[in-house]
Structure 1
Amino acid sequence: MRSVVLTKGVPDFSEGAVSFNEEGHLERGKTPTVMNPNDEFALQAALQTKVRHGGHVSGMSMGPPGYASVLEEAMESVYTDDSYLLSDRELAASDTWATAITLCSAIEKYQEEVADVDLVFAGFKTADGETGQTGPQTCWGLDWPIVTHVLALDIDPDEGILRAKRLVEGDVDEIETVEAPLPCVVIADPEFEPTYRKAAHRLTHKQLRGETQERATDHEEHMTTWDHQDLNLDPDYIGLDGSPTIVSAVDPIPKAPSEREATMVDPGDEDGMETVFEEMHAFAGGD
């Protein structure tokens, strides 16, 4: 079972150091980066598939060279086997459409040069754009079936079928069971939770953790970098030139104050600790 997981680096908004240029485009090279939180669920879904059915999981990301750290994190925490970074200046400032074109080309190159892909996993949405478009647009480019909001899944390798439970949002939340032929694209829901009920699966999971953590110490040896020329992409259809999205305005994210008022209380001060308890009591009760 061969899987590719699409993951992205997003600004670390908690740092309060997000940088934009004069045109309103995010300067990713000057902004602290972390893995997109929703991609963790896509990686967990791919890992569960590998534990249950064997195979290979590749992490793939498009962005500046610093995104190698995101792919390294994927290897350390969710045990990817190798990584593919799509990176050069021509890809900068891509919107979801230009990003999807690049990812489609990379997956097609992967299939031509590495191996056929059974599953492409992606997160629900990113913490910076929050459009939820890149995964479905990539699927459209591949012309594969797609299953979104996946809560649980399993594979029938003999029949080449994915069976999944997905969340349907309407007036009330409903769960439906669906089937899709392989290859297909899976968009993991934030409520996805991997399950390892068999002892054999739990042992395999433990074994993979040990193997991968050792491999991650030399992550760059397991990472392949492709630029737009490697992917045979026309610069007119990627990056800023190939992005139909227009940024009309950007509101800066305010930085947290460097200094905050604080009251020091000695743990041995009974009256002081009583005051602290009274302040916290309302919040502990959920108010």
Structure 2
Amino acid sequence: MRSIALTKGVPDFSEGAVSFNEEGHLERGKTPTVMNPNDAFALEAALQTRVRHGGHVSAMSMGPPGYASVLEEAMESVYADDTYLLSDRELAASDTWATAITLSAGLEKYQEEVGDIDLVFAGFKTADGETGQTGPQTSWAMDWPIVTHVIALDIDPDERILRAKRLVEGDVDEIETVEAPLPCFVVTDPEFEPRYRKASHRLTHKRLRAETQRRADDHEEQLTTWDHEALNLDPDYIGLDGSPTIVSSVDPIPKAPSEREATMIDFDDGEAMGEVLEEMQPYAAGGD
């Protein structure tokens, strides 16, 4: 069983980490990059599949050289054997379509040089784009079946069939059980939870974790980087030039108005500190 887990780096949107300029626009150069949170569920699904059925798992991403750290985090999460970064200036400013074209080229090259892929796991959507299009578009480019909103899955290796439960949202949330032939794409839902009920699975999980911790120390030795030339991609069909999406406008994020009055207190001012303590005591005692 050979699987690919796709992941992406996104700005760290946690409180205090995001940097905006005076116009309210995100400053990516001053904002830390982290692994896309929704990708964690895809990585868990890939790891569960490996624990249950063995095989080889690789992590793949498209982005600048700095995304190597995101792939290192992915390796530690999915216990990947190796990682692949699709990185090139020609790939900059890609929309979801150009990204899907690039990722599909990376998957095809992987199959040529490493081995046939059985499963590709992708996250539900990214924290910076929120479109949820890249996984489905990449599966379309590969002409493979896709199962989305997956909350549970298993593989029949003899029949080469994926059996999955997927969440269907409508007037009433429903769970649908589906089958798909391999190779196929799996887009996990945030409701996905890995399950390791057998003792043998838990022992395998522990062994793989120990092996990966040693391997991650030399992460760069397991990293392969491919540029657009290695992927045989025409610059006219990738990056900004190959992106049909047109951004009509960008609205700055308005700064929230201050709704609280702040009183500055000097720590050495004993009288003022006493007033603060007197003000806070009722709340510390559980008062209103």
Q: Tell whether the structures are fold-level matches, with TM greater than 0.5.
A: yes
Aligned residue number for residue 17 of structure 1: 19
- Deviation string, structure 1 residues 246-286 (Cα, Å, up to 9, x no partner): 122223446899xx9588989xx69734324547x7xxxxx
**Does the CA-based 8 Å contact 1:28-1:64 persist in structure 2?**
no
Q: Describe how 1:117-136 pairs up with structure 2 within 5 A.
A: 117-136=117-136
2:245 is paired with a residue of what secondary structure?
Answer: coil
Q: Is residue 2:259 matched to residue 1:251?
A: no
**Secondary structure of 1:186 counterpart:** strand
Does structure 1 conserve the Cα–Cα contact (< 8 Å) formed by 2:18 and 2:32? no
Structure 1 residue aligned with 2:239? 239
Mapping of 1:1-287 within 5 angstroms? 1-14=1-14, 15-17=17-19, 28-253=28-253, 261=262, 272-276=280-284, 278=286
Q: Is the 8 A contact 1:139 1:145 kept in 2?
A: yes
Amino acid at match of 2:178: V
Cα 1:233/1:20, change in 2 over 3 Å: farther
> Could you tell me how far 1:196 is from its partner in structure 2?
0.2
Task: Give the distance between the partners of 1:54 and 1:115, measured in 2 at CA.
Answer: 15
Give identity over the alignment, percent: 78
- 5+ residue gaps, structure 2, are 268-272
- CA RMSD in angstroms comes to 2.6
Structure 2 CA distance for aligned equivalents of residues 255 and 58 of structure 1: 42
Residue 285 of structure 1 is matched in structure 2 by none
Q: Tell me the SS of whatever aligns to 1:154.
A: strand
The superposition leaves residues 2-46 of structure 1 with CA deviations (integer Å, 9 ceiling, x where unpaired) of: 00011000111221215799xx8x775554210000000000000
Q: Supply the AA of the counterpart residue of 2:280.
A: G
Provide, for residues 161-183 of structure 1, a one-character-per-residue CA deviation record: whole Å limited to 9, x for no partner: 00000001110000011000000
The TM-score normalised by the length of structure 2 is 0.88
Q: Say if 2:122 and 2:187, in contact at 8 Å, map to a contact too.
A: yes
Cα distance in 1 between the residues matched to 2:21 and 2:232: 31
Deviations along 1:219-243, one digit per CA (max 9) or x if unpaired, are 1110000000000000000000000
- Residues 16 and 255 of structure 1 are in contact (CA less than 8 Å); yes or no, is this contact kept in structure 2? no
**Superposed structure 1 runs of 4+ greater than 6 Å apart:** 254-257, 262-266
Larger radius of gyration between Structure 1 and Structure 2:
2
Query: CA 1:275–1:31 in 2, change beyond 3 Å: closer, same or farther?
Result: closer
Letter in 2 for 1:16: V
8 Å contact 1:9–1:33 — kept in the other structure? yes
Instruction: State the distance in 2 between where 1:92 and 1:59 align.
Output: 20
**1:86: how far off?**
0.4
For the residues of structure 1 that align with 2:224 and 2:191, how far apart are their CA atoms? 31
Q: Is the 8 A contact 1:19 1:28 kept in 2?
A: no
The answer to whether the 8 Å contact 1:94/1:242 transfers is yes
Secondary structure of 1:13's counterpart equals coil
CA distance in 2, matches of 1:79, 1:175: 29
**Cα pair 1:29 1:64 within 8 Å, conserved:** no
Q: Retained in 1: the 8 A contact 2:19–2:28? A: no
8 Å Cα contact 1:122-1:187 kept in structure 2: yes
TM-score if structure 1 supplies the norm length? 0.88
Aligned length: 273
Contact 1:43-1:78 at 8 Å conserved across structures: yes
Question: Which whole-Å CA distance do the structure 2 matches of 1:200 and 1:20 have between them?
Answer: 56
SS in 1 for 2:196: coil
Q: Structure 1 counterpart of 2:2, which letter?
A: R
Output one character per residue of 1:79-130: Cα deviation in whole Å (capped at 9) or x when no partner.
1111000001000000000000000000000001100000000000000110
3-state SS, counterpart of residue 124 of structure 2: coil
